[in-house]
Amino acid sequence: MMTSPPPKVRLATLPTPLERLDRLSAAWGGPAIWVKRDDLTGFGLSGNKVRKLEYHLAAAQAAGADTLITTGAAQSNHCRATALAAARVGFRTLLVLRTPDGRAPARLEGNHLLDRLAGAEVRFVTPEEYAARDQALAAIADELTADGRTPWVIPEGASDALGMWGFVAAMSELHAQVDEIGPISAVWHAASSGGTTAGLGWAADRLELDIPVTGSSIGDSVPDLRRRIERIWAEAVVTYGGSWPVPHMELIDYHVGRGYGLTTEEELEIQAEATQLTGLIFDPTYTGKAIVGLRREIGAGRYGRDDTVVFWHSGGGFAVFSHDFGTVLD
């Protein structure tokens, strides 16, 4: 049984298209590859992040908030989407961004540039400080409250029981589109803060869908990802009721490479090849890592010509401009 979703602010253009990638499928010699075009949600090129923010912004409005506080890496798609959505709706934004040394990057580029263009206030922290990010966001909320403002805290990636609803709805949307393509071997997507995977898995269980979900980590270990997802599900069971979902998903961490936001020349070559075969942009941090993982798994024989894979394109193309493709494209 599916609980009725909470209210949301409508920002995204939905449903996003489901398209077949014929040239990529032929070149990689494995399954029929389809793409769920969440790069086309239509709001500031915010990709899939806007799905989760629609629910958080509605809750912030209901609470009378005037300032959104959230956190992520300096090139966070989520933080950029939050800043742009806040500008649209009329909130202030305060972002806590992680950098290697806790200082502002030397150049304004990619998502960080867009954060600033949207008017966000930005504070920088080290990786060590970022480990206590939830406590840091709470402290900032207390600081703003003492100054007479009304903050609304959005966790990293909007990945909590509220933000999860964006992908419960997204999975329902996909289910309505898949009749034309037959059985699906996997919904392949980039997994990071856990909200996307949690929502897809929750919906697959509640709607009794025979659609396997595969989250390809872009930086963290499977145990870390699983803990994040289970925290979201635990919160959702308490908040919305029902039983613990039966997992309809698989998590893998074989393709994290050098880690979050870091790429190798081989990874960039695969991403460039995918763009040249599809005309789509794959951001090296998220969708790029995920498409690399899919390419390698096809090469290893995981999926064959009788399979169908849906690649969830979560957007985030701006991060391409913060990576050096020079040696790959020379």
Are 177 and 318 contained in the same domain?
A: yes
Handedness of CA 104, 110, 111, 117 (dihedral sign): positive
**Together in a domain, 232 and 170:** yes
Q: Which residues lie across from 34 on neighbouring strands?
A: 20, 310
Q: State how far the Cα of 26 lies from the Cα of 3, in Å rounded to an integer.
A: 41
Dihedral sign of CA atoms 281, 258, 226, 186 in order: positive
The mean-pLDDT minimum among 100-104, 117-121, 179-183 falls in 179-183
**Whether the predicted pLDDT of 3 surpasses 80:** no
Domain that holds residue 68: 49-158
Please check whether residue 172 lies inside any domain of the structure: yes
Q: Examine the domain organization and report whether 188 and 303 are in the same domain.
A: yes
| 284 and 197 inside one domain | yes
Query: What pLDDT score was predicted for residue 2?
Result: 61
Sort 282 into a burial class: Cβ within 10 Å, 0-12 / 13-18 / 19+.
Answer: buried
**In the predicted structure, residue 330 carries a pLDDT above the cut 90:** no
Share of the chain above pLDDT 90, in %: 80
List all residues 6 or more positions away from 45 whose beta carbon is below 8 Å from its beta carbon. 39, 315, 317, 318
- Determine contact, residues 315/41, Cβ cutoff 8 Å: yes
pLDDT tens, position by position, 34-52: 999 999 998 766 688 999 9
Tell whether the model's pLDDT for residue 97 goes beyond 70: yes
Q: For residues 37 and 74, state if they share a domain.
A: no
pLDDT of residue 323: 64
Structure-model confidence comparison of residues 321 and 245, the more confident one: 245
Contact 166, 172 (CB under 8 A): no
Lowest average pLDDT, out of 2-6, 189-193, 222-226, 268-272, goes to 2-6
Mean pLDDT of 72-84: 93
Looking at the predicted structure, is the pLDDT value of residue 154 above 80?
yes
Mean pLDDT of the chain: 93
Same domain, 56 and 98: yes
205: amino acid identity, one letter: D
Given a cut of 80, whether residue 65 has pLDDT beyond it is yes
Q: Which of 158, 187, 222 is the last residue of a domain?
A: 158
Domain ends where: 140, 158, 176? 158
For the ranges 1-5, 111-115, 210-214, 270-274, the lowest mean pLDDT is seen at 1-5
Is 315 within a domain? Answer: yes
Say whether pLDDT at 75 is over 90: no
Mean pLDDT on 131-157: 97
* Confidence at residue 60, expressed as pLDDT on a 0 to 100 scale: 98
Q: How high is the pLDDT of residue 109? A: 87
pLDDT higher at 198 or 245? 198
pLDDT at residue 86 greater than cutoff 80:
yes
Summarize pLDDT for 267-315 with one digit per residue, the tens: 999 999 999 999 999 988 899 999 999 999 999 999 999 999 999 999 8
Distance set, CA 153 to CA 63, 70, 111, 275 (Å): 11, 6, 20, 36
Distance of alpha carbon 18 from alpha carbon 15, whole angstroms:
9
**Exposed, middle or buried, 259 (CB in 10 Å: 0-12/13-18/19+)?**
exposed
Which pLDDT does position 305 carry in this prediction?
Answer: 94
Is 28 in the same domain as 73? Answer: no
Indicate whether 313 and 247 sit together in one domain: yes
One domain for residues 124 and 206: no
Question: Could you tell me the CATH number of the domain that includes residue 88?
Answer: 3.40.50.1100
Final residue belonging to a domain, choices 98, 130, 158: 158
Which pLDDT does position 321 carry in this prediction? 65
Looking at the structure, tell me whether residues 278 and 131 fall in a common domain.
no
Which band of pLDDT confidence, cut at 50, 70 and 90, is reported for residue 81?
very high
| Tally of domains within the chain | 2
What is the spatial distance between Cα 31 and Cα 306, in angstroms, rounded to a whole number? Answer: 6
d(CA 52, CA 43): 13
Percent of the chain with pLDDT over 70: 95
Query: Are 22 and 88 in the same domain?
Result: no
The DSSP bridge partners found for residue 98 are 73, 125
Q: For residue 323, is it within any domain?
A: yes
Q: Which residue has the higher pLDDT, 11 or 324?
A: 11
Residues 61 and 92 in one domain: yes
User: Which among 134, 148, 151, 136 has a CA at the least distance from the CA of 69?
Assistant: 151
Looking at the domain assignment, is residue 9 inside a domain? no
Residue 4: predicted pLDDT? 84
* Residues with catalytic function: 76
Domain-embedded: residue 13: no
Q: Does 5 reside within a domain?
A: no
How many Å apart are CA 267 and CA 164, to the nearest integer? Answer: 29
